[in-house]
Amino acid sequence: MEKQENMFLKKSFVAITGASRGIGRCMALKFAVKFPPNSVLVLMARNVEALESVRTELQATAPNITVFVRQYDQGNTNEGYFKGIFDSLLTENKLSKGVFEQVMLVHNCATIGDKEKTTLQLCDADLVRSYYDINLCGMILLNASFFATFCDPSTSRVVVNITSGTSKVPSPSLHLYCSGKAARDMFFRVLSAEEPYIRVLTYAPGGVDTDMLRDLEENSSSTPIRKMLNGLRQDGHILTPDESVANLEQILEDNAFENADHVDNYRQTAQPYRTNLYIET
């Protein structure tokens, strides 16, 4: 395909979900210093105090970037919750969407689900429904709200879907996580087919040292999963958030991926990955 321009060269409006910790926080900190002055970064998560802490860090390292904090609950099913989120944010801050050369939505918000149960023990409808509200339904509704606001085809539009190798490989105890990620990946393939002028990247960050991964190491009901993760850590194959996000930055700079590509960030030399058990967080 024809090589496109480095995404970090354009004055941008960027929203990142799950931006209060882990990979989301790291993306916010690393992206902010790369975009041109007067770009806008919107940090979205439930924990406002943690978001404010990230904003304070950003203001010290990227003073020319405008940073907004938005408390956001992706599992909220109240009617109208997602409608006009970005319209109201622009209005409240007296911003015109026409001043941006590019808009980007990063879908990072995700949970792992009940990893202590097996598939045949999932008998609580509210638990299952709540999982998909957070990890699938809410994501779809936010995506629709974002592109309802930013609908001008003359503006570069980008969506980054943070996925997992488990969207392709079944991993014991990760029934909800695997299926939720697979559904998200297919959703964005359909979006790409319907809206070919929206740039879509589906990125699997690899085994990253986050709270979610450490929780799995300790509490997964699957002994093979726990052993695999322990082995990855002992062998030095667990990535830091900085390492994984640096690779994502390079992909966005090169901007050479096919639309809706699933791009994996794995250390292929790691023996445990050949066990068909992939974990990312």
pLDDT digits (tens, 9 = 90+) for 97-145: 999 999 999 999 999 999 989 999 999 999 999 999 999 999 999 999 9
Domains in the chain and their CATH numbers?
Answer: 7-206+241-270 (3.40.50.720)
For the purposes of burial, counting CB atoms within 10 Å of the CB of 104, is it exposed (0-12), middle (13-18) or buried (19 or more)?
buried
pTM: 0.92
Residue 277: the pLDDT is 47
90 vs 104: CA distance, rounded Å: 15
Report which DSSP code applies to 238.
P
141 vs 77: CA distance, rounded Å: 10
Q: Characterise 106 by phi-psi region: left (phi > 0), alpha (psi -120 to 50), beta (else).
A: beta
Query: Which token pair is 22?
Result: 């882990």
Percent above pLDDT 70 for the chain: 93
End-to-end CA distance of the chain: 30
Lowest mean pLDDT among 63-77, 166-180, 229-243: 229-243
